[in-house]
Amino acid sequence: MTGIQALERKAPAQPMRPGKPERREFEYIRHGTQTLIASFNVVSGQIAFA
């Protein structure tokens, strides 16, 4: 069982320009946490989510 933060960026990423990489906003909005429960079958490689 793992707790995961539900985050959302405050603004969309700015597209690339010639000679410049894509820019992403570093601020975010928190939407609380969610719990992830999963199991991994080593033999088949399948992941089962609950």
Is the pLDDT confidence value at 8 over 70? yes
Q: What is the arithmetic mean of pLDDT over 45-50?
A: 78
Q: What is the arithmetic mean of pLDDT over 20-44?
A: 87
Give the per-residue pLDDT at 18.
Answer: 92
Residues of the domain holding 41: 2-49
| Secondary structure in 3-state letters for 1-50 | CEEEEEEEECCCCECCECCECCECCCCEEEEEEEEECEEECCCCCCEEEC
Is the pLDDT confidence value at 50 over 70? no
Q: What is the arithmetic mean of pLDDT over 28-47?
A: 87
How many domains does the chain contain in total? 1
Q: What is the arithmetic mean of pLDDT over 24-37?
A: 87
